[in-house]
């Protein structure tokens, strides 16, 4: 650097640089609301012939919870939001969106609604709403923007690394007849680190980038004679779950694990069931059902009704893809610090 200030430690590592925007502790925040993604559920009710069971979400895994926070950081750079885990669930930031002078941040938890996580937010010094008072050191960059302020608590990193998510969320059978098996049963992935701090004191920054989707399809039909009438029926179903990756910290002693797995973010069940007891029974649409045409139309129609936005979930492309995952093999960088530094 040709001008400005650099401060180095005994290992010649730069800890303050006036040309770099240092992140400072902004505050602890609790959610202003929590929600779950509404189910996509569509199909006819009771039909005179054929099985009528499970025309709902019977057997489907429970959905996780979305907690929403307002972070008052006024600028173009998103705040770094660290999560303090509650319980044994997996949690991660899944959305960071600038709204006016604040950032709307969503944290997804793999567990059903319960104790909401407290988040610890850090922001560049020049995006603070007010200037702290007191004596100390403040550095500025070439554009006269404050980059470091000793009156604020800096982000103190105690560790970090990279982690990948499991390749898929569910392994093995996807279902049997009219019951789907789509729970998360993949083994956790983990990354080890060393810290003398208690696991409950360590908070992490690691936005979710991996997601997965699994589906189960089943079709059945029959014909015969009942009460002196010839009958035919046909039913086809599609169940699916969309998963987001999350994280947690476990371990005792000096060796800890940063773990990753999935939680159910959204789920759906659509079906068609037709029956006829007349002597004139035309061909059914089962061929279209098993080919996926009906399901694609039905899901698109449900989404078009605005069910997501009406329930407070941002609109977008929520239709799942075929069995698989996205970004599960990409390294997801995590950063660690201690909650007790800022409590």
Can you tell me the distance from the alpha carbon of 131 to that of 114, in angstroms, rounded to the nearest whole number?
36
Structure confidence by residue, pLDDT tens digits, 100-153: 999 999 999 998 877 888 999 999 988 888 877 778 888 888 888 888 888 889
> CB-based burial of residue 24 (10 Å sphere; 0-12 exposed, 13-18 middle, 19+ buried)?
buried
Give, in degrees to the nearest 5, the angle at Cα 116 between 338 and 88: 70
Q: Report if pTM > 0.75.
A: yes
Give the per-residue pLDDT at 270: 85
How does DSSP classify residue 19? T
Residue 337's SS3 state is strand
The first and second tokens of residue 26, run together, are 């902004």
Cβ contacts of 10 within 8 Å, gap of 6 or more:
none
Taking the chain (343 residues) in consecutive chunks of 10 residues, what is each chunk's mean pLDDT? 72 78 93 93 88 94 96 94 89 95 95 86 90 80 82 92 96 93 96 92 96 91 79 87 95 92 93 71 40 44 38 39 88 96 95
Q: Residue 228: which region, alpha, beta or left (left: phi > 0; alpha: psi -120 to 50)?
A: left
Q: pLDDT of 149-195, one tens digit each? A: 888 899 999 999 999 999 999 999 999 999 999 999 999 999 999 99
For residues 304 and 301, what is the distance between their CA atoms, to the nearest angstrom?
5
- Locate the domains of the chain by residue range: 6-341
Q: What is d(CA 327, CA 94) in angstroms, rounded to the nearest whole number?
A: 14
Cα–Cα distance measured from residue 18 to residue 71, given in angstroms and rounded to the nearest whole number: 25
Specify the pairing of strand 91-99 against strand 6-8: unpaired
């Amino acid at each position: 650097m040709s001008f400005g200030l650099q401060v180095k430690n005994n290992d010649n590592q730069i800890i303050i640089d006036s040309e770099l925007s240092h992140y400072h502790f902004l505050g602890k925040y609790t959610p202003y609301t929590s929600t779950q993604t509404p189910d996509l559920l569509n199909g006819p009710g009771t039909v005179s012939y054929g099985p009528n069971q499970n025309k709902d979400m019977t057997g489907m895994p429970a959905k996780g919870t979305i907690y929403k926070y307002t972070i008052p950081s006024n600028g173009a750079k998103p705040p770094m939001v660290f999560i303090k885990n509650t319980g044994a669930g997996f949690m991660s930031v899944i959305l960071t969106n600038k709204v006016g002078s604040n950032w709307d941040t969503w944290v997804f938890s793999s567990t059903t609604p319960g104790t909401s996580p407290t988040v610890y937010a850090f922001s560049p010094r020049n995006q603070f709403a007010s200037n702290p008072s007191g004596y100390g050191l403040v550095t500025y960059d070439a554009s006269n923007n404050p980059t470091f302020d000793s009156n604020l608590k800096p982000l103190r990193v105690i560790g970090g690394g990279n982690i990948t998510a499991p390749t898929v969320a569910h392994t093995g059978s996807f279902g049997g007849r009219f019951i789907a098996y789509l729970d998360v049963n993949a083994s956790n992935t983990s990354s080890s680190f060393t810290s003398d701090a208690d696991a409950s004191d360590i908070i992490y920054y690691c936005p979710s980038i991996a997601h997965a989707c699994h589906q189960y399809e089943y079709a059945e039909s029959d014909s015969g004679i009942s009460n002196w009438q010839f009958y035919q029926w046909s039913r086809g179903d599609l169940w699916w779950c969309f998963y987001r990756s999350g994280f947690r910290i476990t371990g005792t002693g000096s060796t800890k694990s940063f773990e990753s797995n999935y939680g159910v973010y959204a789920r759906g069940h659509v079906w068609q069931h037709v029956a006829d007891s007349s002597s004139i029974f035309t061909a059914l649409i089962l061929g279209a059902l098993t080919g996926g045409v009906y399901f694609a139309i039905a899901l698109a129609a449900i989404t078009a009704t605005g069910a997501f936005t009406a329930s407070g979930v941002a609109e977008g492309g929520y239709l799942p893809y075929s069995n698989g995952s996205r970004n599960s093999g990409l390294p997801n960088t995590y950063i660690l610090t201690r909650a007790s530094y800022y409590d």
